[in-house]
Amino acid sequence: MADQTLPAQIADQLRRDILRGILRPGMSIKERDNADKLGVSRTPLREAVRILATEGLVELRPARSPIVSIPSVKQVADDVEVLLAIEKMSAELACARATEAEIDALAAIVDVMADRFDTVDAVEMFEIDMSFHAGLASAAHNPSLADIHSTFLSRLWRSRFLSAIQRRNRERVVDHHSQIVAALRARDTDAIRTALGAHLDRLAPDIINVITQEIEQASATADRKDDL
């Protein structure tokens, strides 16, 4: 975390704060205040905010403070719809193009999942899950595709996270992923479509439920003003 550019580092910091909930949806990100707080000047902070804007995590408004995105249910549903399509496409391509080494790496991730399922906390398990799906995307050998995959993954990171920590389902976490790896090994496009479909189609309503819940909750506490 050292050799990246300064704006990228700032973006990482802000992204973490947003995803961890320290910067809550709707909060404004004032250039001067945040620049001072992070000990940098407005220019790189500004650029960092633009990076997050393209990722969909913050929202730019003309002649106004950027705010942390407060995605509507519709937006989250749209994002999920796109992410699922990208992931299915990646999986099918990976079926044809993944190297044996890449499949081995994915299998190893599933092994780790199975081993640690009962011991690690939700956050760690979630990170492992993320690495599996990122690995699947890169196994499609199409960097453009992997790029937009990671964009939508980070846009939905918080939603997925909230969804994941409230439900720990061994079947989904371990079995589904095993089936995906098995289908990859067999180079069986239909099988991977089925396996991933089962995995993801269950994920979608979960995420949307969590978000719906969070938004209702937020509007209930709507008296809170956005601070600093």
Written as one string, the DSSP assignment of 2-40 is: -SS-HHHHHHHHHHHHHHHTSS-TT-B--HHHHHHHHTS
Name which of 142, 135, 138, 137 is nearest 109 in CA terms: 135
Q: Which does 99 bind (CB under 5 to 8 A by kind): a copy of itself, DNA, none?
A: none
Structure tokens at 103: 């499949």
User: What residues pair up with 59 in beta bridges, in sequence order?
Assistant: 67
Q: Which does 66 bind (CB under 5 to 8 A by kind): DNA, a copy of itself, none?
A: DNA
Question: Which positions ≥6 away from 220 have C-beta within 8 Å?
Answer: none
Q: Please list every residue from 87 through 106 that binds a copy of itself, using CB under 8 A.
A: 89, 93
> Shortest distance, CB of residue 175 to DNA, whole angstroms?
46
Q: Please list every residue from 25 through 84 that binds a copy of itself, using CB under 8 A.
A: 43, 47, 50, 54, 56, 62, 75, 78-79, 81-82
- Candidate list 15, 23, 44, 207; residue touching DNA; CB under 7 A: 44
> In terms of CB distance, is 43 or 72 closer to DNA?
43
Position 64 contacts DNA (CB under 7 A): yes
Q: Cα–Cα distance between 12 and 18 in angstroms, integer?
A: 10
- Candidate list 1, 2, 3, 62; residue touching DNA; CB under 7 A: 62
Total residues binding a copy of itself (CB under 8 A): 21
Q: Cα–Cα distance between 116 and 158 in angstroms, integer?
A: 23
CA distances from residue 189 to 96, 104, 134, 180 in whole angstroms, order as listed = 8, 18, 19, 10
Binding site for DNA (CB under 7 A): 5-7, 28-33, 40-44, 46-47, 60, 62-66
Binding site for a copy of itself (CB under 8 A): 5, 43, 47, 50, 54, 56, 62, 75, 78-79, 81-82, 85, 89, 93, 142-145, 148, 152
